[in-house]
C-alpha cells in the first residue's frame, strides 16, 4: 500500500530535460494520467514489449495523458551524458520521456527496481492502478479497463 502521508503523489515533480517542462502531477488533476517507468534492467529484459504494443494500438480520450519515466537513480553524475543519449530517442517515442535521477517515482509509488512499473492516476490524483513486472495478456486487459 502507498501511504499518502509518507509520499504524496500530488507532490511529485520530475525535472524536465531536452526541452520538456517539469512534470508536476498536481498540475494534471482532472485528467487520467499514466506513467510507464523503466530502468536499465527492465529494458534489457524487455518487460514492456507486449504491453507497449497493446497500448500503441489503443485510442485514448483527450482527458488521458501518458508519460515515460526512465529511472536513473544514482546516475546523477552522468546526467548530461544520459540526457544527450536519450535526446536522440525522444522524437521517436510516443510519450514524453522524463529521466528521474532521484528515484522519486519508484519511491513514491513503491515500485521495485529492475522491473517495469505502470501507474495510473484517476482525475482526482488517486492511484487507480499499479503494477510492476512483465504483463500477461489478462493484466494488459485489466489495464485497458482502468
Helix runs in 14-120, H state only? 40-44, 49-57, 79-89, 104-108
Rounded to whole angstroms, the Cα distance separating 14 from 88 reads 20
Spatial CB neighbours of 63, under 8 Å, sequence gap ≥ 6: 30, 31, 32, 123
Please check whether residue 118 is in contact with residue 144, taking contact to mean a CB–CB distance below 8 angstroms. Answer: no
Provide the terminal-to-terminal Cα distance of the chain, rounded to the nearest Å.
Answer: 18
> What's the Cα-to-Cα distance from 12 to each of 6, 29, 69, 140, rounded to whole Å?
12, 12, 13, 26
3-state DSSP assignment of residue 139: helix
How much is the pLDDT for 84?
77
146 residues of the chain, pLDDT tens digit each: 665 556 688 889 999 888 889 999 999 999 999 999 999 899 889 999 999 999 989 999 999 999 999 999 888 778 788 787 787 778 788 899 999 999 999 999 999 999 999 999 999 998 999 999 999 999 999 999 88
Amino acid at each position: 500500500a502507498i501511504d499518502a502521508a509518507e509520499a504524496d503523489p500530488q507532490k511529485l515533480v520530475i525535472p524536465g530535460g531536452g526541452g520538456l517542462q517539469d512534470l508536476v502531477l498536481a498540475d494534471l488533476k482532472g485528467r487520467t494520467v499514466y506513467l510507464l517507468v523503466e530502468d536499465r534492467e527492465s529494458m534489457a529484459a524487455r518487460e514492456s514489449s507486449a504491453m507497449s504494443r497493446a497500448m500503441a494500438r489503443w485510442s485514448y480520450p483527450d482527458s488521458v495523458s501518458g508519460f515515460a519515466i526512465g529511472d536513473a537513480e544514482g546516475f546523477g553524475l552522468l546526467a548530461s551524458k544520459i540526457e544527450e543519449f536519450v535526446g536522440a530517442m525522444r522524437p521517436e517515442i510516443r510519450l514524453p520521456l522524463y529521466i528521474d535521477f532521484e528515484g522519486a517515482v519508484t519511491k513514491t509509488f513503491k515500485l521495485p527496481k529492475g522491473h517495469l512499473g505502470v501507474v495510473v492516476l484517476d482525475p482526482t490524483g488517486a492511484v487507480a492502478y499499479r503494477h510492476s513486472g512483465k504483463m500477461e495478456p489478462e493484466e494488459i486487459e485489466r489495464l485497458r479497463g482502468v
